[in-house]
Structure 1
Amino acid sequence: MPAFATLIFLLALVAFLPRAAPKSTIEPCSNSDTCSSLVGYTLYTDLKVSEVASLFSVDPISLLLTNAIDISYPDVENHILPSQLFVKIPIPCSCVDGIRKSSGVSYKTRPSDTLSSISAAVYGGLVSADQIKEANPKAELSDPSVIAVGTQLSIPLPCTCFNNSDNNLPAVYMSYVVRDVDTLAGIAARYRTTVSDLMNVNALGNAEIKDGDILAIPLSACASNFPTYAKDYGLVVPNGSYAITASHCVQCSCGPGSRNLYCMPASLAVSCSSMQCRNSNLMLGNITTQQSAAGCNVTSCSYSGFVNGSISSTLSTFLQPRCPGSQQFPQLTAPPTVVPESLFSPAPSPSESGGFPGTNPRSSTVPSSGAVLGFPPAGGPSGSVPGSSGACSLMSHLTSFPIMLVFGFIVKFVLSMSL
């Protein structure tokens, strides 16, 4: 009996040994700029679109368009999204205390909230309880299990910019919480990148990932070239997504495999400034072509930024060898009511389209100057800001091997005592 009691005690001791800490990509920074970024989020319960948007302090319409959901449905902001649905959330990524973090995301506590429940359930493991406590030094959080209802908390979500580029091509980075079914190869396949690129971006020594790790995933994108004085300067839209800008007047898209940003009047456009190009009868997004013996004359009216409360447009005419084909738009889906079965299959991870089912797809085409096919990145985010390829990782203090080694010694010791 004494040997058995000793075994129970030592096994209990092993259970309380420190476990491998989840890894998270950290991008050092020193300036005050802000970039577009995403976080991947799995709903912990049924929530309205507006409720999800409120959790992340984002515009509901931007949330829907980022996931290519048709915003023309009646009262779409109050549509109820199902529990366990995976969505991509657009968040501004800022430089806070020398590290990239989200800016402006806040949460008002409710009954029964604890730091642990806010971290694990409400925000799906994107932020830890300790990080929330550290980000709110003035809040009464001495006891993390007892928080006054209505306490306003700042939520420091993980994000990365890396100059919005990957291998010198436009990219938007998504922070993704690894699940126990995920593999690095599966995630790379789902998001059309490579294992070596993911390892480089996240400073991984090998392809091993664990449940709860947070990876920065580069998504191929279309970048704008608006002037620096435009309010939406630096707009970057991931492939398969839409973005709304200019006070909900202009909608920009990045078609599948495209590098060309295409902008047109938004379906919600009301009380907007003129969208007609000067000295022409073309409206924003219009493209005309005329075949000639020398090639194809292409005239386009393009969006060039939101300047001083007005929509700026540019009329351009150029000659190219052949007339362009139709502009390909990301496929729009109906607001989802169920979670697709593929979400729960072993890795790869949730789908590139945001995990939404393809019910009632809507898509259209218009003439364009032609799309340039994007190739999957490889070899890491070259061309990023200095130090980006060496992004730090929070490595574990104890791996499973030392724990098993200690356990083996314990069993050997107990058996020797019993002989």
Structure 2
Amino acid sequence: MAIRSSATAALLLSLMALLSALIVSSPDLGFTCTTQATCKSVIDYVSPNTTTLANISSLFGVTNFYDLLGANSLAVSTKPSQIFKANNTIKIPFPCICSNDTGISNKVPVYTVQPNDGLDHIARDVFSALVTYQQIARVNNIPNPNLILTGQKLWIPLPCSCDEVSGAQVVHYGHVVAKGSSVEQIAEEYGTDQNTLLKLNGMSNTSELIAGEVLDVPLKVCSSSVNKTSEDYPLLVPNGTYALTAYNCVKCSCQSSNNYTLHCNPSEVTPSNVTKCPSMLCQDGSVIGNTTSTCSTCAYAGFIKTSILTTLDNSTCSSNSAPSPSSNSAQGRFGSQGSSWSVLLATIHLGLLCFGLLC
């Protein structure tokens, strides 16, 4: 009996070791991320059932509901109770952390195991195959994926990245590939190119694109005046979206039609964590988002504790001014009155000529 028990124990240990090896060699976690950083990312979620925006926000641990609205360009007046139909796609904003060349969501979302749940069901059905059951087991140190407990808290490692692309800051978007899509179509829709998509996703050619897979798509963001000392630096807002910041007091929008320059205004929503929004005035007395009589714009520059930073942005002025004159022109020699002097001299010359003829 002792020999049989020892053999059984040895067999169990071998099976456990094999299972652990399978988990370790499971599909790679996250997107490629060569930097050590944290940032904000977004990912598609195809809802398997009709639900509400509040339920989606809760499932993914989105702490600020306005982040969900901004990522999807929904009006700030949209209610959490709004119905979201099954099989529709919504973008989920979440914090990303990069370490050891891998980017995954930073300890969110956290899912509570329900009765009769299995890891594969959680990965495939609850989170619409954004991750695999092996990846969930790996980050939660679960040696046997078949042994999870009701009430157990599981970290769901969504793929993301914080890397720059072609030397520029971007927001990495986990795009769920729709059936019939092509690399060319996706690149054109999101303002990038095929080679970038292929390189980011480790594909050698466009035929490797698979419907339903999560593709790393870099989204171009608007430039801003946000100071490096600000608590929301860097404020990366992708084209066609908006973000509420500084206690929800400021709404910053990014539009390609605005030369990819972040445009911020008072949000006019109820502030969070403060009883009243801080002052948003520039030194000339104008409010964030307003253009002064001298064509400067009062721009949002970030926030520190309970103070909102502002700055006068003169970049819009240069686009409206005439090109500078060349140094050898009358305008260059005489300034803005050069053309008037030329007319006057021509008139005097003509007058003297006429006077000579009459004499």
Once residues 58 and 213 of structure 2 are traced to their aligned partners in structure 1, the CA distance between those partners, rounded to angstroms, is 25
Cα deviations by residue, 1:331-371 (Å, 9 ceiling, x for unpaired): xxxxxxxxxxxxxxxxxxxxxxxxxxxxxxxxxxxxxxxxx
Partner of 2:201: 202
Rate the CA distance shift 1:286–1:86 in 2: closer, same or farther, 3 A.
Answer: same
- Larger displacement relative to structure 2 (58-67 or 251-260): 251-260
Once residues 321 and 66 of structure 1 are traced to their aligned partners in structure 2, the CA distance between those partners, rounded to angstroms, is 30
Once residues 249 and 216 of structure 1 are traced to their aligned partners in structure 2, the CA distance between those partners, rounded to angstroms, is 31
Rate the CA distance shift 1:96–1:320 in 2: closer, same or farther, 3 A.
Answer: closer
Partner of 2:159: 158
Deviation of residue 111 (structure 1)? 2.6
Partner of 1:77: 80
- Larger displacement relative to structure 2 (299-308 or 176-185): 176-185
Cα deviations by residue, 1:38-95 (Å, 9 ceiling, x for unpaired): 111111111221211122211221101110101214xx01212111111111111112
Deviation of residue 179 (structure 1)? 4.1
Rate the CA distance shift 1:223–1:109 in 2: closer, same or farther, 3 A.
Answer: farther
Rate the CA distance shift 1:48–1:171 in 2: closer, same or farther, 3 A.
Answer: same
Once residues 237 and 173 of structure 1 are traced to their aligned partners in structure 2, the CA distance between those partners, rounded to angstroms, is 11
Once residues 260 and 279 of structure 1 are traced to their aligned partners in structure 2, the CA distance between those partners, rounded to angstroms, is 21
Deviation of residue 225 (structure 1)? 4.2
Partner of 1:181: 180
Partner of 2:190: 191
SS of the residue corresponding to residue 300 of structure 2 reads strand
Once residues 142 and 24 of structure 1 are traced to their aligned partners in structure 2, the CA distance between those partners, rounded to angstroms, is 18
Matched-pair contact (CA < 8 Å) for 2:279–2:307: no
Rate the CA distance shift 1:28–1:274 in 2: closer, same or farther, 3 A.
Answer: closer
Cα deviations by residue, 1:230-275 (Å, 9 ceiling, x for unpaired): 1101111110001111111111110134410111111314433333
Once residues 23 and 130 of structure 1 are traced to their aligned partners in structure 2, the CA distance between those partners, rounded to angstroms, is 9
Cα deviations by residue, 1:122-168 (Å, 9 ceiling, x for unpaired): 1111111000011112x6x7353x532221111111001222xx334
Give 1:282-301 correspondences, 5 Å limit.
282-289=286-293, 297-301=294-298
Deviation of residue 192 (structure 1)? 3.1
Partner of 2:330: none
Deviation of residue 171 (structure 1)? 2.4
Matched-pair contact (CA < 8 Å) for 2:30–2:102: no
Deviation of residue 316 (structure 1)? 4.4
Partner of 2:119: 115
Higher strand proportion: 1
Aligned-residue CA RMSD (Å): 2.5
Partner of 2:45: 41
Once residues 234 and 279 of structure 1 are traced to their aligned partners in structure 2, the CA distance between those partners, rounded to angstroms, is 23
SS of the residue corresponding to residue 320 of structure 1 reads helix
1 or 2 for the larger relative contact order (CA 8 Å, sep ≥6)? 1
1:265 and 2:266 aligned: yes
Rate the CA distance shift 1:117–1:181 in 2: closer, same or farther, 3 A.
Answer: farther
Matched-pair contact (CA < 8 Å) for 1:57–1:104: no
1:142 and 2:144 aligned: yes
Partner of 2:97: 94
TM-score (norm 2): 0.73
- The size of the alignment, in residue pairs, is 289
Once residues 53 and 260 of structure 1 are traced to their aligned partners in structure 2, the CA distance between those partners, rounded to angstroms, is 29
Partner of 1:387: none
Matched-pair contact (CA < 8 Å) for 2:282–2:298: no
Cα deviations by residue, 1:9-62 (Å, 9 ceiling, x for unpaired): xxxxxxxxxxxx98887324352x211211111111112212111222112211
Rate the CA distance shift 1:100–1:22 in 2: closer, same or farther, 3 A.
Answer: closer
Structure 2 gap segments, 5+ residues each:
1-25, 322-359
TM-score (norm 1): 0.63
Rate the CA distance shift 1:114–1:25 in 2: closer, same or farther, 3 A.
Answer: closer
Percent of aligned pairs with the same residue? 31
Matched-pair contact (CA < 8 Å) for 1:41–1:124: yes
Structure 1 gap segments, 5+ residues each:
1-20, 290-296, 324-419
Matched-pair contact (CA < 8 Å) for 1:25–1:215: no
Give 1:11-410 correspondences, 5 Å limit.
26-29=31-34, 31=36, 33-58=37-62, 59-73=64-78, 76-105=79-108, 106-137=110-141, 142-144=144-146, 147-163=148-164, 166-208=165-207, 209-257=209-257, 258-270=259-271, 271-289=275-293, 297-317=294-314, 319-320=317-318, 322=320
Matched-pair contact (CA < 8 Å) for 1:23–1:214: no
Once residues 60 and 276 of structure 1 are traced to their aligned partners in structure 2, the CA distance between those partners, rounded to angstroms, is 23
Once residues 168 and 93 of structure 1 are traced to their aligned partners in structure 2, the CA distance between those partners, rounded to angstroms, is 19
Deviation of residue 115 (structure 1)? 0.7
Rate the CA distance shift 1:272–1:256 in 2: closer, same or farther, 3 A.
Answer: farther
Once residues 145 and 41 of structure 2 are traced to their aligned partners in structure 1, the CA distance between those partners, rounded to angstroms, is 33
Matched-pair contact (CA < 8 Å) for 2:225–2:300: no
SS of the residue corresponding to residue 305 of structure 1 reads strand
Higher helix proportion: 2
Q: Which amino acid aligns with 1:102?
A: S
Deviation of residue 278 (structure 1)? 4.4
- Larger displacement relative to structure 2 (309-318 or 112-121): 309-318
Q: Which amino acid aligns with 2:224?
A: S
Once residues 161 and 297 of structure 2 are traced to their aligned partners in structure 1, the CA distance between those partners, rounded to angstroms, is 34
Once residues 300 and 179 of structure 1 are traced to their aligned partners in structure 2, the CA distance between those partners, rounded to angstroms, is 41
Rate the CA distance shift 1:268–1:130 in 2: closer, same or farther, 3 A.
Answer: same
Partner of 1:382: none
